[in-house]
């Protein structure tokens, strides 16, 4: 029996869609704070929608960062990246938004996000954005 204020999950929303929608970037303590090392994450199934045409855009997101006190949990970043699937967002804005969200989540010493989009209509776009702590 459900209480009047409880709501049941929408049966039309698949469990994976619900997990992606609820997803957020999760971090954990850097196991080697003070040691300078690089973490590289490749996300080869990135997709979003063109804000002008609505056509899907596909690409690979490369994240390379030097952690400070926090490290991004891999399943969380996968779900976070999947949340772009139905967003109408430009190549430039998606790369910048991913960078901003990762900086907010783990405050790395430095980070680069490279968004390498699959060519469409004979155009190949790569957007690379960087951040260094304190700059």
Q: What is the token pair recorded at 28?
A: 């954990």
The pLDDT of residue 2: 52
- Map tokens 């060519």 to a residue: 119
How many Å apart are CA 110 and CA 105, to the nearest integer? 13
pLDDT at 3 over 60: no
Distant-in-sequence, close-in-space partners of 39: CB < 8 Å, separation ≥ 6: 63, 64, 65, 66, 67, 71, 72
Catalytic machinery residues: 50, 57
Q: What are the structural domains of the chain?
A: 15-132 (3.30.1130.10)
The pLDDT tens digits for 52-111 are 999 999 999 999 999 999 999 999 999 999 999 999 999 999 999 999 999 999 999 999
The pLDDT tens digits for 99-130 are 999 999 999 999 999 999 999 889 999 999 99
β-partners of residue 60 are 116
Instruction: Give the model's confidence band at 17: pLDDT under 50 very low, under 70 low, under 90 confident, else very high.
Output: confident
SS3 at position 6: coil
């Amino acid at each position: 029996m459900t209480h009047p204020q409880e709501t049941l999950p929408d049966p039309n929303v698949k469990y994976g869609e619900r997990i992606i929608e609820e997803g957020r970037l999760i971090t954990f303590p850097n196991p080697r704070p003070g040691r300078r090392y690089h973490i590289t994450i490749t996300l080869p199934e990135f997709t979003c929608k063109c804000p002008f045409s609505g056509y899907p855009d596909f690409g690979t997101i490369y994240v390379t960062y030097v952690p400070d006190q926090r490290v991004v949990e891999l399943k969380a970043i996968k779900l976070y990246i999947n949340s772009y699937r139905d967003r109408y967002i430009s190549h430039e804005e998606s790369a910048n938004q991913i960078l901003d969200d990762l900086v907010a989540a783990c405050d790395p010493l430095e980070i680069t996000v490279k968004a390498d989009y699959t060519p469409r209509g004979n155009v190949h776009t790569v957007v690379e954005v960087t951040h260094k702590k304190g700059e």
